[in-house]
Amino acid sequence: MSNKEEVLRKPDWLKIKLNTNENYTDLKKMMREQNLHTVCEEARCPNIHECWAVRRTATFMILGDVCTRACRFCAVKTGLPNELDLKEPERVADSVVTMNLKHVVVTAVARDDLKDGGAAVFAETVRAIRRKNPFTSIEVLPSDMGGVSENLQMLMDAKPDILNHNIETVKRLTPRIRARATYERSLEFLRRAKEMQPSVPTKSSIMIGLGETKEEIIEAMDDLRANHVEILTIGQYLQPSKKHLKVVKYYHPDEFSELKKIALEKGFSHCEAGPLVRSSYHADEQVNEAAKHKQLLGEKQAKEA
């Protein structure tokens, strides 16, 4: 075995504790009975056992389980999607009731085959959850929906509690890593969302370990802050299969702690950073932190007025 292969052997801090208790099995059974998809399963999230078995939370993936894009980091299957399931929003909302969730994350595959990028179903899912679960906070994690402003407006008119859209990586690596998406379009998407609904916190995520430099990570932070993004998550890229991009570097937990410190110093209201952190990791805590930050900011502005 070469020295390079030795260096890239998965370190101890990336070992995952499996927990298949009753919460986990009940949730898995419910997802199958309701014909629902979760990004937890489809993207092979390393935190699925913690979230399902311990925290009893899940990230619903709507618009089917087949993505029209083939990003080189993502395990979600790619191909020609099925027809839209217009009853899906109600099933998601009913499942949120069953799970008694205080916070729910709704994401989706990219649907470039649809004129609205899936915005109508996304918006209806938000409204359905709100009708049946008025005290549940709702976070949405859409694709760039083709960069069409009207599509984003349709979603923001439903007034989610958090708008999350991931830039995924640094500017230089975007063309190699993301399919049909651009760094600039994602930043514009986030900026427009904030302009459309100024009271809705915006959030984004970066995965590291693909060959980026520390300076590039900091540049991405600056670009997100320049476009008024308030919440940031930073996690370690893990290669889901041999067909996907290889890991260039495994970051030590101390390096993640340093990046979190830098992010908070740059003005993010909340930052989750760690080897197993993913975009929806501890999302229930993030919405509370965003609310506290918003309240403190309002009190500060009132004193200065």
pLDDT digits (tens, 9 = 90+) for 8-37: 678 877 766 655 556 556 666 766 666 666
**Residue type for position 6:** E
Does some domain include residue 1?
no
Q: Average per-residue pLDDT in the chain?
A: 83
Q: Which residues are annotated as a binding site?
A: 40, 45, 51, 67, 71, 74, 280
Burial class (CB in 10 A: 0-12, 13-18, 19+), 181: buried
Q: How many domains does the chain have?
A: 1
Q: Which residues are annotated as a binding site for [4Fe-4S] cluster?
A: 40, 45, 51, 67, 71, 74, 280
Judged against a pLDDT cut of 50, whether residue 7 lies above it is answered with no
Judged against a pLDDT cut of 60, whether residue 304 lies above it is answered with yes
Does some domain include residue 11?
no
Q: What are phi and psi of 58, to 5 degrees?
A: -155, 155
Q: What pLDDT sits at residue 5?
A: 44
Q: What are phi and psi of 195, to 5 degrees?
A: -65, -35
Q: Which domain holds residue 184?
A: 17-304
User: Rounded distance, CA 278 to CA 164, Å?
Assistant: 12
Q: pLDDT class for 6, splitting at 50, 70, 90?
A: very low
Q: How many CA within 13 A on the CB side of residue 77?
A: 11
Does some domain include residue 7?
no
**Is 225 in contact with 268 (CB distance < 8 Å)?**
yes
Does some domain include residue 8?
no
Does some domain include residue 73?
yes
pLDDT (average), residues 84-89: 90
pLDDT digits (tens, 9 = 90+) for 171-213: 999 999 998 899 999 999 999 999 999 999 999 999 999 999 9
**Is 271 in contact with 282 (CB distance < 8 Å)?**
no
Does some domain include residue 6?
no
Instruction: Count the Cβ atoms, other than its own, within 10 Å of residue 129.
Output: 27
Does some domain include residue 234?
yes
Residue keyed to tokens 């080897």: 275
CATH of the domain at 104: 3.20.20.70
Q: What pLDDT sits at residue 287?
A: 61
User: Rounded distance, CA 131 to CA 125, Å?
Assistant: 10
Whole-angstrom Cα Rg for the chain: 19
pLDDT digits (tens, 9 = 90+) for 118-174: 999 999 999 999 999 998 889 999 999 999 999 999 999 999 999 999 999 999 999
Strands 270-274 and 231-236: parallel
Does some domain include residue 4?
no
